[in-house]
């Protein structure tokens, strides 16, 4: 009887630690995907972006004429043709929230020229975490 009670207490004590370790692993995986996306822009590397962006991903930002929506294909073409990117940026992950196979992150990229404040939504599939959309605010420095 004492052994059963001890086993139950031990299981109850270990479960939160196991769940915390799993969540930490998921957060690190999400950070890795966002870092890969950042590098794709810094290096103007469409192959890195291809891996981090979901097939149906969209990027939203405010342009001169209002809200602009860029699909994955357009983003990849812009990287490939060197229309965007090419500047190293620092990354700061402000917050990540995970609910099952869905996550959201508040991330800031900054360079000497600008600050990119982004809200990144991700989904987890068999191939891992991928970005489904980004809503960003671009602020030039200076």
Predicted TM-score (pTM) of the model is: 0.84
Domain count, the chain: 1
Domain encompassing residue 132: 2-140
Per-residue b/e over 92-125, b at no fewer than 16 CB within 10 Å?
A: eeeebebeeeebebebbbeeeeeebebbbbbbbe
Q: What is the CATH number of the domain that holds 79?
A: 3.10.450.50
List pLDDT tens digits, range 65-114.
999 999 999 999 999 999 999 999 999 999 999 999 999 999 999 999 99
């Amino acid at each position: 009887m004492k052994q059963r009670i001890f086993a139950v207490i031990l299981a109850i004590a270990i479960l939160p630690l196991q769940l915390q370790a799993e969540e930490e692993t998921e957060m690190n995986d999400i950070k890795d995907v966002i870092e890969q996306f950042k590098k794709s822009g810094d290096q103007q590397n469409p192959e890195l972006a291809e891996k981090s962006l979901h097939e149906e991903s969209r990027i939203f930002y405010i342009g001169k004429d209002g809200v602009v929506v860029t699909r994955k294909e357009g983003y990849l073409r812009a990287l490939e043709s060197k229309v965007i990117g090419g500047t190293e940026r620092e990354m700061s992950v402000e917050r990540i929230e995970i609910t099952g196979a869905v996550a959201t992150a508040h991330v800031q990229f900054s360079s000497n020229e600008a600050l990119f404040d982004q809200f990144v939504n991700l989904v987890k599939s068999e191939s891992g975490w991928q970005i489904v959309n980004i809503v960003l605010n671009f602020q030039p420095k200076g």
